[in-house]
Structure 1
Amino acid sequence: MAAEWRRPFLFFALYFFSGVSWRVSATIFTLQNGCSFTIWPAVTSGNNGEVLGGGGFALAPGSAVELPATAGWSGRFWARTGCDFDGNGNGSCTTGDCGGRLQCAVGGAPPVSLVEFTIGDGGEVKDFYDVSLVDGYNVGLGVRASGGSGDCQYAGCMADVNRNCPAELQVVDGDGAVVACKSACEAFGKEEYCCTGEFASPETCPPTDYSRVFKTACPTAYSYAYDDLTSTCTCTGADYVITFCPAADS
């Protein structure tokens, strides 16, 4: 993709003066809050690219916001819950916190449900995206492509994993309510759950009983590090609707 921007000026001049329309359009991400409570969506760029939405903001129930991203952008989206920030953007969140800041510059603290994207060029280079529970789960997520071509699969986790989270993986708030579900890697730190050390390959790190809890609840989401075959989605030239707490009939 970087080579596209290094072409000589003559390339662009020929298109301009020949009357051919040349436009690199933005990919529009529409973030929707389908939850019954306020969330604080967060965004980080994976390639030192533009920071969408300032890195984080509040989103009331039923609200939506559009965020444009240029070709080649990659990054992550997630929802933070139970946040409290002061006028300077300092504070904390019960789940998904990113260093105590409203506008994130670092990733969300697990357990947290993630949407991951790498945007192509709208032509031969595809967009890649997935919903990941590798870092655990806090709220449901759904990603729907709009206006693109190719497979353009729906990616999501509509189930409330917190309801069926094993006791040893649960994160509870001050009222005893389960607000997130840890991954086995986060809970136990063992190599066989983290796919590290002697288990750092698809052959040596198969699914576990814990990762199957996530996979059973959310078949199209990443449940552990090597869960690629049923979890990576592609599309070309699309915009995307990312819904937090999507309805079961999405």
Structure 2
Amino acid sequence: MESPRSMAVLVLVFFVLCRDLARSPAMAGNQAQGFAFLAVGEAATFTFVNRCTDTVWPGVLSNAGSPRLEPTGFELSPGEARAVPAPAGWSGRMWARTGCSQDGATGRLVCATGDCGSGSAECAGAGAAPPATLAEFTLDGSGGLDFYDVSLVDGYNLPVLVETSGGGGSTGPASCAAAGCAADLNAMCPAELRAGGSAACRSACDAFARPEYCCSGPFASPAACRPTAYSQVFKTACPRSYSYAFDDPTSTFTCGGGPDYTVTFCPGATPRSALRFTGHPSLLRPLHDLLLILIIHVAISEGREW
């Protein structure tokens, strides 16, 4: 039989551990959202990996009604990786900005592709200006499954690969499979779609704003909006990506069991052994497990006679 004093000691140990983790470099910049996710439950960890030869600036935009992830943008040097936790039910999109630099006159961060217009590393609720390769996610959606895809509907600025880990429970060829585009579409981009001196490749919708390319107006249905010569260029090079608005049957992937995700920019450009992790990949799980143990301990103890 344990005494109330021993219970107090256990609780004190828990808060000391929380304090030490909060002061650690791995927790720096993530403290507030870390403890918030302890309360609402972490559904997944997104690990961003930069295998490009240049620095990229990932951006994160939550869909309407989904909580904002923190951070909403950051700098990621070549060979670095960083983890961002997401709560249950989160949905939104992610991308990478390229060619970013500080404007000498205003001090604002300006990016050659994927710019969110915030003027800083954080996008703070703003989305990517096309063209940009987008990774899109809905966690714990229909049937308890996660839905994810890599979209070229808004154009392309760099290769992106999405991979799952730790999931399962869905069936079919798209179950927990890798999604994305590893090809260099900028090298094969039609001249009329090139943007920023071949730094990116526009979609036909963005370039021409015609309903047959945008699947709008009389073309706003899968039956009416069919693949075009431009979308087929994208689809041939990147068969596991969205090439146009109604490309769903072969481009949306599902995964059950609460997987984590790795979003890799320029997959294959940097050996995995050379990656440097700039954030703890599972900041919250040890705290979550410890808190759960304490709760169970308290529940059991309250059922005993003191």
Q: Say yes or no: does 1:238 pair with 2:238.
A: no
Q: Say yes or no: does 1:221 pair with 2:241.
A: yes
What is the CA deviation profile of residues 61-120 of structure 1, one whole-angstrom value per residue up to 9, with x for unaligned ones?
Answer: 010000000100001000000112379973211000112432112110000000000111
Partners of 1:89 and 1:54 in 2: how far apart?
20
- Give the equivalent residue in structure 2 for 1:92: 110
- Judge which range, 225-234 or 79-88, deviates more: 79-88
The 3 A distance-change label for structure 1 pair 111 and 72 is same
Give the deviation of 1:58 after TM superposition.
0.5
The 3 A distance-change label for structure 1 pair 53 and 84 is farther
Unaligned segments of structure 1, at least 5 residues: 1-22
| Correspondence 1:1-250 to 2 at 5 A | 24-85=41-102, 90-102=108-120, 103-104=122-123, 105-120=125-140, 124-149=143-168, 150=170, 151-173=175-197, 178-236=198-256, 237-247=258-268
DSSP-derived class of the 1:229 partner: helix
1:213 maps to amino acid = V
Partners of 2:263 and 2:70 in 1: how far apart?
14
Runs of 4+ in 1 over 6 A off after TM superposition: 86-89
Partners of 1:120 and 1:93 in 2: how far apart?
33
- Judge which range, 156-165 or 240-249, deviates more: 240-249
What is the CA deviation profile of residues 180-219 of structure 1, one whole-angstrom value per residue up to 9, with x for unaligned ones?
Answer: 0000001111110001011111111100000001001100
Q: 2:43, 2:86 within 8 Å by CA — same for their partners in 1?
A: yes
Partners of 2:87 and 2:196 in 1: how far apart?
39
Structure label with greater radius of gyration: 2
Q: 1:199, 1:205 within 8 Å by CA — same for their partners in 2?
A: yes
- Give the equivalent residue in structure 2 for 1:13: none
Partners of 1:124 and 1:100 in 2: how far apart?
36
1:47 maps to amino acid = A
Partners of 1:193 and 1:161 in 2: how far apart?
18
What is the CA deviation profile of residues 217-246 of structure 1, one whole-angstrom value per residue up to 9, with x for unaligned ones?
Answer: 100100000000100000011000110111
1:240 maps to amino acid = Y
Q: 1:47, 1:73 within 8 Å by CA — same for their partners in 2?
A: no
Task: Give the helix-richer structure, 1 or 2.
Answer: 2
Unaligned segments of structure 2, at least 5 residues: 1-39, 273-306
Give the deviation of 1:48 after TM superposition.
3.6
What is the CA deviation profile of residues 116-155 of structure 1, one whole-angstrom value per residue up to 9, with x for unaligned ones?
Answer: 001117x951100000000000000000000000310110
1:30 maps to amino acid = T
- Judge which range, 83-92 or 130-139, deviates more: 83-92
Aligned Cα root-mean-square deviation (Å): 2.2
DSSP-derived class of the 2:161 partner: strand
2:222 maps to amino acid = P
1:96 maps to amino acid = G
- Give the equivalent residue in structure 2 for 1:14: none
State how many pairs are aligned. 223
